[in-house]
Every structure is written in C-alpha cells, then in structure tokens.
Chain A
Amino acid sequence: MKPLSLTIILSGLAVAALPLVAQDRPKPDAATGEIARSGQREDFRTFEAEDGDLAYFADAARLTQEGGEAVYEAVCAGCHMPEGEGAVGAGMYPALAGNEMLEFPEYPIYVIVHGQKAMPPLGSILSDEQVAEVTNYIRSHFGNDYVEGEDGIAATPEDVAGVRP
C-alpha cells in the first residue's frame, strides 16, 4: 500500500492530525480470501479518532455509547440541542432545560422508549441501561435537579424494562 498523503484538505474543518497508518497492522492475505477481522473501522485515514469517536457507528442497528452524557450527545442533542435548549422552526423540539415534566422518571422513560408525536420511539436502538442513564442525565442537568438530594429519584434499568412493549 502506498503511504497516504498527509495533506488534510478538509476545508472548513479544524482537523490536522496525522492519519493512523494502516499498513502497520498485519493484513490477512487478500488472494486467499481470508476475511479480515482486524477491526478495519479503527484504521482512520483522515483524522485521528479519539476514544469517544470509536463508540460512534459501532453498530448499524443500535447506539453503543455508554453513560448518560454520551448517549445524550449522540442522539438526543440532535433534536433537543446540546444544552437542552430545544429548537423552533415551522415545528419545534421542546427544551429539556428547566423542564418540570422531568420531575419523575416514569414520564421521560416512557417518552424515550415509545416516542410521542414527532419524537420517534428510541427503545429499539437503546438498552435499558442507556435509557435509565440518559433519563437521569437530563433530570440532573440543564437546570434540572431531580436525581440527587433528599427527594431525588434515580431511574433504573428495571424501570425501563417495565415499560417496554
């Protein structure tokens, strides 16, 4: 394999990292048809992938990010926006910031698993753990404080399993 060009010309992108050079890895023999199982997806050519990046797109059918914040950023932020501020156009995505509907975990869990109006059901792409963690994340960030403290309630994976169809 000829060495890759190091010129990164992704205009408008703040990327100028060295590509991880793929030829260092042992490659199965293409001629024999041995199928590579060497994790090609980690052979980055145009930018250096960080740990968090590797959780992206790891499974075509589900999200594999772990922890409430990572799940929020990988899916919820696309509609509810990075600071939970929501968005308005001809239609709108509600703000989760300062949202009293999040006081009890049951409601967000139900909405996340089953969807509601323009919000798609996400139960099939998220595990019970992921739903519980992201529920607690939105209920304890963006000005919401419903998880910690005396009256705090934390959602559990069992709560999520209970509302699945």
Chain B
Amino acid sequence: MSMSRRSLLQMVGLAAGTTAMYQAMTTLGYAQASNYAGPIKLEGDPQGAKVLILGAGLAGMTAALEMRAAGYEVEIIEYREKAGGRCWTLRGGDSYTELGGATQEVEFAEGNYLNPGPWRIPHHHYAVLDYCKRLGVKLEPFIQKNYNAYLHRSEAFDGKPQRFREIATDYRGQISELLAKATDQGALDEEVTEEDKQKLLDSLVEYGMLDENYRYVKSDHTSEYRGYDKWPGGGLNAAPEPSEPISLDRILQSDLWTWLVEAETTHHQSTMFQPAGGMDMIAQGFEREVGDLITYNAKVLSMIEDENGVTVEYEDLEGGGTQTRTGDYCICTIPFSILGQIDHNLSGDKAAVIDSMYYAGSAKFGLEFKRRFWEQDEHIYGGITYTDLPIALISYPPYDFFSDGPGVLLGGYAWGATAYQFNAMQPDERTKWAVEYGSRIHPQYTEEFSNGVSVVWHKVPWVLGCYGIWQDREADYETAARIDGRIALAGEHISYLPGWQEGAILSALDAVERLHAQVTTSNAGDTQ
C-alpha cells in the first residue's frame, strides 16, 4: 500500500496528535506565520502631501501613525465618538445603542468588562504585539485551553458536563491502545518498517499512558493524567486512589471529541495574550498617538477622486450639516458592508468586489455574577467550556483570579443560524436565553446572576457584521487591494487573516507602503 501525503498526515495526526501534525505540515511547506517584518521604513519625502484616512479602527490608526511619521499631513474621519472600531471593550458605566435603538447600560463592577469583538491575540501576530509594545499596552496571558473546564452536550452523559482533562486523556489513551495493538499484531507491517515499529510502540506507550500489555487501564499512572478519585495529599490517609477511565465507545458516542483540538490550531495555541484591562487598551494606545488627527462623529457620505485629489463629504453628527475635506490621497478602511452604500467613483471591477462582500453575524454575551463560583466551586481558572447549546461556549475571565467580588463570564459566542436568531432579539430577551442555557452547565447561574450585556454584530451601527466574507477571494483579492488612482482600500477584509486584528494592521501597512512608493515616485517625476 502506498501512502499519499494526505494519508501520511492523517496518520501522523492520529498517532501523535495535532501538534505533531502541524510540525509535519510545516515541514511539508503548509503552515506560515504573520508576514510582519518589523516597523516599516518609509524613505523619501512626501513633500507635504495630504492623506485623508477614513475610519479610526486599527487599520486607519496604523496608517495615520506611520504616515504622519513619514512626513504626511494626515486627517482621520471617524463615525463613532471614539477610536478603535471593532477593537472595543464595554465596562460599567458604558452605554451602547444598537441599530433599532435598543440601549444597554452596562452595570459591571469596577474592573470587569466584556470584549464584544476581539478578545485574544496569538503569539505569532507579530504586528499587533509589536504595536502593543511600542504603544505601552500591557499584555497578560489569555487562557484558551483549560483541562479543568468542561465539554458538554445536552444529549451526552445525561447532559452532565465532563472535564476536558478526562475526555482528552481517555481518548488519547484508548486510540493509542488501538493503534499499539494493531501495530503489535502486524496490521501495519506494510506501512512501518520493523525498526520504526518498535519505536512506534514505545512512543504509544509513552504518549498513550499504556501498560506493558499496551492497555490503557485504571492505574496511578493514568490517573496522573486524567485525575484521581482521591487526589494525593499529605499526612495520614494521604494515598491517592486512581479513577476509572471512561470507555472509548462512550467517548465516541458522546461526540465530545469534536472540541479536543480547538486549542491546537496555530491561531489558538499557547501562548495567547490579551491586553490587561480590556482589548480597547490597544485602541487607547493608538489614540494617544493619533487622537489629535481624528474628526469624530463624522459619517462619510461620499469619496470621489479625480486627477487632482480626493474629496470626501461627511455628515457632522454633532454640529449637523455636511462637511467637505480634500486630500491628495486617501486610505479608506471603512468595512465593505458600508463602503458599498457610500457614493464613490472607484473602478467598476473594484465596486463589484466591494458589493460582493457580506459580513458574518456573531453574538457575544457578557454576564456578571455576584461571585466567581466557577473558581470557588469548580476550580476553573480561565479557559473555555464548549457546549452544543446555542451559546456554544462559556469563557472564564483570565484576570483577577480569586477575587471575592463579582466576575464577568463570556456567557456565549454564537455564529451562523444561531447568531441570526440572537440578532433578531432585543437585548433583555437575548440575555434571558444566555442565562437559561448557561444554567444547564453551571446551576449556580440561577442564584448568582446579576446583570448582562450582549452585542450582536449585524446590529453594530458602524460595521453591520463581524468580518467580511469573500465570494471568491482568489479571483477578487488583487482587485480590492490594488491602488488604481489616489485611493487605497485597507482593513481586516483585505487580508488572509479575516477576523483578526493582525490582518487589519498588515493590510494597512501594505497599503501605506505601496501608496508611499507611488507618492515618492510621482513627486520625483514632478520635480524633473
């Protein structure tokens, strides 16, 4: 039997887990990290050229910061009353009005918050991390994987949540046992050499916690991984008692294995980070640098270019009336969901790509409880519980551990058909459902719930969704990213990192570099 690359990868994945699989994939040339190559260097004099930047999200503010430093005159036009766009945090005292007019007053206690959008940063998002460092944004660990959190399905184990540790360990042990037995009995003799066969068996004993007969059984050894019935202690009566593994067929039937590799993709492997105090600390860091360039409460209505420059009209939401701004160039970071509704004279093929992009919906819940029962009763410190309930997951705050005060859970993070239904509800109604579902995993909800806030992204007035979906990215990407005249488009949507801040920043840096090259070349032309 000959082996294709794909089946080899599958075998590696089965035998050694996803981490090994990713290593194998990297060797085979699959995986790649962010293409950030350190702070950009913009050489050459823009000779006072003026750039209008539309949108003060991370893409817009990155462009503004770098272009001002390179000698441009910069002005940012932003719809909201503050900077950051989707890089956003809700805290006690904040008020948020969604489309349709429903207003939520956030009642969280001091120090608690919800990141309604971005909440975690992979360790290889070099651009985001570098700007955090440059802007003095303090980062702390974000906990993706917690062995003591739960896996839960309504119809598995009688609806009782299972500890991640037990399912993951028992599954690993028992598939190792199967593979070891098959190997030992010669079933894989055509696939593995005699020499590798012994190595494979040795590795499975190690990896799968097997005994000398290649069995995964109740023992002190397996309990050291899956947990004990009675954990080891000190003094009299301190000896541990091992626990009984859950059988493979129960695990298979439960479907709880579907979440075992959630933390194994490159985007979720440890170490992950979050800004201390809330994701918008990044927005605030940028705002400290470029806040003086921003006109807030300004809704862009049109963006028209001609051979002399770019003219942008906006509605002044505070003072009323329409204002006009002109620049030599423009970087537009307005999401395509909205840009498609704005009057512009970009080329027809660009307009067609803009119009072809809709935005995914998503719902996120911040629920505050009177005490941190998940820590106090269940010893869950950060990390994520996965469930097939419509809330999809519960994430525990990876900060202020052991505090006596109230704590805020991410009480749900829904997508797809579920998110559409949450989107169509009023805030109180959404919270009611999130509390109901969460109470099926943590019964303490009914006693301890205090207040909640939720953000459904199709109702966010200044983006109309969560992130951009390409109809045909391969065919259309170049058209969207290309600079035709004086306008460059940038933002999360023009990246191969959709729904990540890294994509927004890299897209902006790339647009800035190309625009700058164009400006300095044409300046050189002017003076000749």
Chain A interface residues (CB < 8 Å from chain B):
4-5, 7-15, 19, 27-30, 33-37, 40-41, 43-47, 56-57, 59-63, 73-79, 81-82, 87-93, 115, 117-122, 125
Q: Which residues of B contact A44 (CB under 8 A)?
A: 436
CB neighbors of A among B394-444 (8 A): 416-418, 420-421, 423-425, 428, 431-433, 435-436, 439-440, 443
Tell me how far the C-beta of A141 lies from the nearest C-beta in chain B, rounded to whole angstroms.
Answer: 16
Q: A5-B447, A7-B446, A78-B423 are in contact. Are A41 and B418 (CB under 8 A)?
A: no
- How far apart are the CA atoms of A132 and B368 in the complex, in Å? 42
CB proximity of B28 to chain A, nearest CB, Å: 33
Q: Which 4 A-B pairs have the closest CB atoms?
A: A89-B461, A78-B424, A78-B423, A91-B338
Asked if residues B451 and A11 are in contact (CB atoms below 8 Å), the reply is yes
Contact B451 A12 (CB under 8 A): yes
CA distance A74 to B154 in the complex (A): 23
Segment at the interface with A among B138-146, B175-183, B354-362: B354-362
Q: B158, A28: Cβ atoms under 8 Å?
A: yes
Closest to B249 in A: A33
In the bound complex, residues from chain B placing their C-beta under 8 Å from that of A125 are 416-417, 420
Q: Contacts A10-B432, A46-B436, A121-B358 hold; do A81 and B100 have CB atoms under 8 A apart? A: yes
Q: Identify which of A30, A92, A93, A115 contacts B358 (C-beta below 8 A).
A: A115
* A7–B370 CA distance with the chains assembled, in angstroms: 14
Does B465 make an interface contact (CB < 8 A)?
Answer: yes
**B-side contacts of A82, CB under 8 Å:** 100
Q: Choose from A33, A56, A115 the contact partner of B421 (Cβ within 8 Å).
A: A56
Q: Is the CB of B340 within 8 A of A117?
A: yes
B323 at the interface (CB under 8 A from A): no
Q: Mark B75-106, 1 if CB is under 8 A from A, else 0.
A: 00001100000000000000000011000000
A8 to B160, CA, bound (A): 23
Q: Please measure, in the bound complex, the distance between the C-alpha atom of A73 and the C-alpha atom of B422, giving whole angstroms.
A: 11
**Are A13's CB and B432's CB within 8 A?**
yes
Chain A residues in 8 Å Cβ range of B160 = 30
Ordered by A's residue number, 22 sampled pairs between the chains whose C-beta atoms are within 8 Å are: A11-B450, A13-B428, A19-B446, A30-B157, A35-B158, A35-B253, A36-B156, A43-B440, A44-B436, A45-B443, A73-B424, A75-B424, A78-B458, A79-B423, A82-B100, A87-B99, A88-B99, A90-B299, A91-B463, A115-B358, A117-B358, A118-B358
Known contacts A11-B450, A13-B428, A57-B390, A78 near B417 by CB under 8 Å: no
Proximity string of chain B (439-479) to chain A, C-beta cutoff 8 Å, 1 when within and 0 when not = 11001011101110000101111111100010000000000
Q: How far is the CA of A29 from the CA of B250 in the complex (A)?
A: 13
Interface residues of chain A: helix, strand, loop or mixed (majority): loop
User: B: which residues have CB within 8 A of A?
Assistant: 79-80, 99-100, 107, 154-160, 246-247, 249-250, 253-254, 299-300, 334-335, 337-338, 340-341, 355, 358-361, 388-390, 416-418, 420-421, 423-425, 428, 431-433, 435-436, 439-440, 443, 445-447, 449-451, 456, 458-465, 469
Which residues of chain A are within 8 angstroms of B433 by Cβ–Cβ distance?
56-57
How many angstroms from the CA of A12 to the CA of B452 in the assembled complex? Answer: 9
Contact call A12/B340, Cβ cutoff below 8 A: no
Chain A residues near B416 (CB-CB < 8 A): 60-61, 125
Task: Give the residue of A46, A56, A92 whose beta carbon is less than 8 angstroms from that of B435.
Answer: A46
For B465, what are the chain A residues with a Cβ–Cβ distance below 8 Å? 118, 120
Q: B159 and A60: CB pair below 8 A?
A: no
Which of B80, B420, B425, B445 counts the most chain A CB atoms within 10 A? Answer: B420
Known interface pairs A10-B449, A77-B424. Does A45 touch B462 (Cβ–Cβ under 8 Å)? no
A108 to chain B, nearest CB (A): 17
Interface contact A40-B299, CB-CB below 8 Å: no
Assess A78 versus B341: contact at CB under 8 Å? Given A11-B451, A33-B157, A35-B253.
Answer: no
A34-B254 Cα distance, complex, nearest whole Å:
10
Q: Is the CB of B250 within 8 A of A33?
A: yes
Contact A117 B436 (CB under 8 A): no
Further contacts, 6 of them, CB under 8 A, given A118-B464, A120-B361: A4-B446, A12-B451, A44-B436, A78-B423, A90-B461, A90-B463
Nearest Cβ in chain A — how far from B213, in angstroms? Answer: 24
Complex contact A74–B420 (CB within 8 A): yes
Closest A residue to B428 by beta carbon equals A13
The interface residues of chain A lying within 8 Å CB-to-CB of B247 are: 33
Q: How far is the CA of A103 from the CA of B327 in the complex (A)?
A: 44
Tell me the minimal C-beta distance from A29 to chain B in angstroms: 8
Residue pair B420, A75 in contact (C-beta under 8 Å)? yes
**What are the residues of chain B within 8 A of A76 when measuring CB–CB?**
424
Residues of chain A with a CB closer than 8 A to B340's CB: 117-118
* Of the residues B341, B428, B446, B463, contact of A45 by C-beta under 8 Å: B446
Q: Which residue of A lies closest to B446 (CB)?
A: A5
Q: Are A60 and B155 in contact (CB under 8 A)?
A: no
Q: In the assembled complex, how far is the CB of residue A88 from the closest CB belonging to chain B, in whole angstroms?
A: 8
Bound-complex Cα distance A83 to B444 (A) = 38
Can you name the residue of chain A whose Cβ is closest to the Cβ of B423?
A: A78
A81 cross-chain contacts in B, Cβ below 8 A: 99-100
Task: Give bound CA distance, A71 to B440, whole Å.
Answer: 27
Nearest opposing residue in chain B for A64, CB measure: B417
Contact A92 B458 (CB under 8 A): no
Whole-angstrom CA separation of A8 from B99 in the bound complex: 29
> Known contacts A12-B428, A46-B439; is A57 also within 8 Å of B358 by CB?
no
Interface pair B250/A90, CB less than 8 Å apart: no
How far does the alpha carbon of A57 sit from the alpha carbon of B99 in the complex, in Å? 23
Determine the chain A residues whose CB is within 8 A of the CB of B428 once the complex forms.
12-14
Decide: A91 and B461 in contact? CB cutoff 8 A.
yes
Complex Cα spacing A23 to B395, Å: 28
| Pair B462/A90 contact, Cβ less than 8 Å | yes
A10 to B435 alpha-carbon distance, docked (Å): 8
Q: Which residue on chain A has the smallest CB distance to residue B157?
A: A30
> Which chain B residues lie closer than 8 Å to A75 at the CB level?
420-421, 423-424
Given A11-B450, A76-B424, verify A120-B359 contact (CB < 8 Å). yes
Contact B424 A74 (CB under 8 A): yes
Neighbour of A40 across the interface among B418, B432, B440, B456, CB < 8 A:
B440
Task: Kindly list chain B residues whose C-beta atoms are within 8 Å of the C-beta of A79.
Answer: 99, 423, 458-459
- Most A CB contacts (10 A, CB to CB) among B159, B389, B424 go to B424
> What distance in Å separates the Cβ of B54 from its nearest Cβ neighbour in chain A?
11
- Name the B residues within 8 Å of A33 (CB-CB): 157, 246-247, 249-250, 253
